Chain A
């Protein structure tokens, strides 16, 4: 059946957690709109507390919406939660695997929660263990797995019902670089197979690798959306100059830079100096030229690095804050 409806459609979607005791009311998601088409890979990008996970939970039909409208697979999550969940795969931030059970038992139990027949689970489990490169671990207790293996098992588990959409909440947070790359490779393979992915991340490289389209959220609102390249093009400069100064020099240097031509000249996206706790960023079309200007101001940075602009810079530009605080 080919459907022309978006897989997920949110209009003015809002989530308010009511006040409880001394905790005041909290608007976690404050009126967001988006639509997700089949086969697309969609990323929610933002710092901790921006409302990403809450949005994911509403899509996953495990958190009732407070306002606006939300359709998932053409259904209403408030009324058809179990039907929606039957067709989703969810990878939560924490693995929530059963440490006392074996790798295969974890898949089996999960499949049973979906009401799948044992024979179907057995066949799929073998295939998924293959996919997750965990064949040799099938009989081992989950307790003995490394962080990367646990993550791969969680993803394998989420695929047991052959979901229409796979939701991943910060899939590689806390993994070492090698484990992250293996995981990205697996996710990319899924994407190639046409699985629709929705993921949240605060890693820019992850978003650039896996997402066709990004929504940048902050304080429960969408501040920008587009493909990774569009966002970089629109909100950042071509190059970024990163400067580090000696501690006793840092404040005066920063002040000088802030009032210099580097901060005030150029077009809108250009000519911006961003002060971070450990370094100063200069957004510019030409990093080398900017560095020459810095030297001409008789500033002597400890290190100077010219690099290509990334989504991290987009986020900084949009919110004035870095993603990982």
Chain B
């Protein structure tokens, strides 16, 4: 029962942090999208179709962020057996998968007018598709083992180990455009380029784009918190029901030896 001490503290913060993140995220993301799509500049070469970037880049970032969260939380789950870590890893899977899918869909819609094709099997696109399949595999594994009593033990560990192994794909996605010839262009954003304003992307694109990334990251955080609260509430309710069933059985005198 020691594990429920920390979830209590988590719930105290998450109660107000969840709606705060979701509302602030939705407001900031909508403002950034209206700004970029409605008032931002068109690209000199690509024209108006470049405006898909304000959706494509945040979803790509969060698709990779989602698996990074799973990997870090899985590591904490395996090493320290922290019960909240297993819950956090499971909670991050759905938003991560949704944003990865959105990244692939918006990229495909952007690719048709910009490249002349909906899809190519180059390193970046393929490794991102592999990430989506990794999410599906993780969710199936986590779903198959979610009824185990304690996270981080027995079968619950399989999902955590899978989460750690799958993290290999994250650097592959990032470096795919640098290691191999690909149709996808190399990164446009870098810390030094943004700070000095001399990166390959003009500042009038960078500012609404980073605002959009901030907004979507807050939405992602809010969704992860909401799903953590959901998983926590489910396991608390199940633990309570199990204890009650055990007490009732003990009262009726039907004592099983294993207990």
| A joins B in a complex | no
Binding site for A on B (CB under 8 A): none
